[in-house]
Amino acid sequence: MRAAIVSDTHIKSRAAELPEWVREELRAADHVIHAGDFDSRPALEEVRSLAAECTLVGGNMDRAFDLPEVATVALGGVRFVVTHGTGPDANYESRVAAIVDDYAATDRPTVGVSGHTHALLDTTVDGYRLLNPGSATGAWPAQEATMMVAEVADGEVDVEVRRE
């Protein structure tokens, strides 16, 4: 199972469009996870149209889109808990880990996916692996456009960062 993990596209407020290389990764994935801040309905609809299957949450810029604040999906024997991570930078990791803990699986590994900071993150907090793919468009304050591609099988997650 190949999962494309993106966040913070911020189209049109901070970026004009998804980079073509990101579109290609979304098309190639079995499942797309977007951790919020689409920032426009056209951006949300484009991600939906490119994804074979998707799990989407709303960020602080997505209040009008009726997206959940937290979503879960089981892929390759792993539960992914997806949230935007809205709030201050202080205590970001522990805040996200607490949300992940509230939705964690008891019968399989659980991985948290969040966004909001526009900064890459792959760390373990309170026993949970936390992933933040940065900003897929390089929206400020990101210094570059980034996303993650995860190969998920038999309860294992292998993550690669893709960047422009």
CATH topology of domain 2-163: Purple Acid Phosphatase; chain A, domain 2 (3.60.21)
Query: In angstroms, rounded to a whole number, what is the distance separating the alpha carbons of residues 67 and 105?
Result: 22
Q: Are 116 and 85 in contact (CB under 8 A)?
A: yes
For the segment 40-47, the average pLDDT, to the nearest whole number, is 96
For 118-138, how does the pLDDT look when each residue is reduced to its tens digit (9 = 90+)? Answer: 999 999 999 999 999 999 999
For the segment 107-119, the average pLDDT, to the nearest whole number, is 97
Query: In angstroms, rounded to a whole number, what is the distance separating the alpha carbons of residues 26 and 95?
Result: 28
Query: In angstroms, rounded to a whole number, what is the distance separating the alpha carbons of residues 143 and 130?
Result: 21
pLDDT of 93 reads 98
3-state secondary structure of 4: strand
pLDDT of 140 reads 94
Mean predicted lDDT score pLDDT of the chain: 97
151: region left, alpha or beta (phi > 0 left; psi from -120 to 50 alpha): beta
C-beta neighbour count of 31 within 10 angstroms: 20
Query: In angstroms, rounded to a whole number, what is the distance separating the alpha carbons of residues 73 and 54?
Result: 9
pLDDT of 15 reads 87
Q: Is the peptide bond before 12 cis (omega within 30 degrees of 0)?
A: yes
- Among 66, 58, 79, 76, smallest CA distance to 2 is for 76
pLDDT of 142 reads 96
Sole residue written with tokens 């992940």: 100
In the chain, domain spans: 2-163
Query: In angstroms, rounded to a whole number, what is the distance separating the alpha carbons of residues 90 and 27?
Result: 35
Non-local CB neighbours of 53 within 8 Å, separated by 6+ positions: 30, 31, 32
